[in-house]
Chain A
Amino acid sequence: MNYHWNWHIFWEPAPNGTGNYLDMLLSGLVLTIETAICAWIIALAFGSVIGVMRTLPSKIASWTGFAYVEFFRNMPLLVQLFVWFFVLPELLPRGMGLWLKQMPNAPFYTAAIGVGLFMSARVAEQTRAGINSLPRGQRLAATALGLTSAQTYRYVLLPMAFRIMVPPLTSEFLSTIKNTSVAITIGLIELTGQARAMQEFSFQVFEAFTAATMLYLMINIVVVIAMRFLERAVAVPGYISGK
């Protein structure tokens, strides 16, 4: 194998003056986590609303939700990021477009919003499945008690639905973290991007990618454990998802 190994490369200074290569990778890791969390907040916010809309009896709400989900599910994430990053500024009036393009952290905001909206469609589907999996009796009992539609959702349906949804939402959150890597194409130098940059500056391809792989595995383990704690903490004893 015509490859020159050098595992000490992590402690050698990186050309961007901010420390060694390990620091470069860790700064990428931080950016990955920040982007993922922002995207996830957006995904949860929009996704829950759309998911609820799809379960409402109103036809308009149902159809709007359906259109929203289909729109974001049928385009690859990469293409969506390109449209937000490259196409949107050109379609806006010149002043606004220029402001968007020259914003110092444009890739970060675009990535957070782009990934967030993409994942919101999936969260919407999970929410819909979660609400629909509840026994019909719940809704009927709520009506019998005189609760309005909003109250039914707020006090009866959603609390249980979210508890049921914690496992699938965990995997959606992990997906969000993985999807932030697609943003290297619009210039977000997160973990995968830093690994690539490290490869380009130091020529140590395999060392760089091994480190990135280890870090992603670590994130995965941390998130899975954290979500299991969450599931146990919010579990309602005696219920479907409880102990």
Chain B
Amino acid sequence: MKRLPVIGLALAAIVIAGHANAEELTGTLKKVKETGAITIGYRDSSIPFSYLDDNQKPIGFAIDICYKIVEAVQKELKLDKLKVELNPVTSSTRIPLLANDTIDLECGSTTNNPDRLKQVWFTNTHFLTATRFVSKKSSKLNSIDDLKGKSVASTSGTTNIKQLTEANAARNLGINIIPAKEHAESFLMVETDRAVAAVLDDILLASFVAGSKDPDSYVISTDAFSKPEPYGIMLRKDDVAFKKLADAATAALYTSGEGQKLYDKWFMQKIPPKGLNLNTPIGAELKHEFAKPSDSPDPDSYKAM
């Protein structure tokens, strides 16, 4: 294989460089310094974390947090100009695109869990949410078992579809699972009666219902497929220096009270493009997390104050 000598040389170079100069940059920071650009992965329709406004520009809670990380990178590397490139990702492309260097940071609604930690790393948690389902009130679906034998949509590549698949097998529900490419498509399936329910993170469901043509006709289940799980911004695995920087930047943001302000901007006020107000006050667990930022994948570690 031709690659082996090249990788060997590269590794040797890194090791030698590491010994020669303790301050030598590695990983993402090295890449940013050399190319003068950093690429952010954004989502199409993860309202209000990362989504496209009317001008097809990505905006959102997670995007703002990422820009803070980018500021910290620029300061750390002492760069006069840092080009920020934006690359769209979906639930199923985000991890491969992070691994193959197409993006450096994934800013959206990605759940931090032990399975994913085998492939990527996460920085401090920026939200907690459980998996629920939305359905039309007229379908009268209250619990997960009510979904027996029905068509249910979810987005490919999410923990939601995985939990739905596992619940379907474990409880023998015979659900016909319809995978959609993006969150908006999952919700559209319910809107157009192609599926009776869509299984997604409850905050995303809340934003879709609020932004739909007839919000009152939908209901989000109280039954959940999981405990509230943490969202994190994804970074490449084993990128120690970059994680340290991202952790520091996000911790500073959350503990300083600016995190709370950013939260209110996206969850308690009108957001573009339609001036929707989600009116979701900060949960006790999340408030505690902002005071003591953590990147733990374990849902049980997030307790209220």
Contacts and interface: CB of A to CB of B under 8 A. Distances in A.
Contacts, number: 55
Given A2-B236, A200-B156, A104 B169 contact: no
Contacts of B166: 15-17
A136 interface: no
Main secondary structure of the interface of B (DSSP, over half): mixed
Given A102-B193, A104-B151, A17 B156 contact: no
B265 interface: no
Contacts of A18: 169
Contacts of B99: 2-3
Contacts of B95: 203
B218 to A, nearest CB: 18
B170 interface: yes
Contact of A17 (B7, B151, B170, B179): B170
B151 A102 contact: yes
B92 A200 contact: yes
Given A102-B151, A200-B157, A2 B179 contact: no
A78 interface: no
B176 A104 contact: yes
A150 B56 CA distance: 59
A99 B168 CA distance: 24
B258 to A, nearest CB: 33
Interface of B: 3, 7, 91-92, 95-96, 99, 116, 118-119, 151, 156-157, 161-162, 165-166, 168-170, 176, 178-181, 192-194, 236-238
19 contacts: A1-B7, A2-B236, A2-B237, A4-B118, A17-B169, A18-B169, A90-B192, A101-B194, A102-B151, A104-B151, A104-B176, A187-B178, A189-B179, A196-B92, A197-B156, A200-B92, A201-B162, A203-B119, A205-B96
Interface of A: 1-4, 15-18, 90, 98, 101-102, 104, 185, 187, 189, 196-197, 199-201, 203, 205
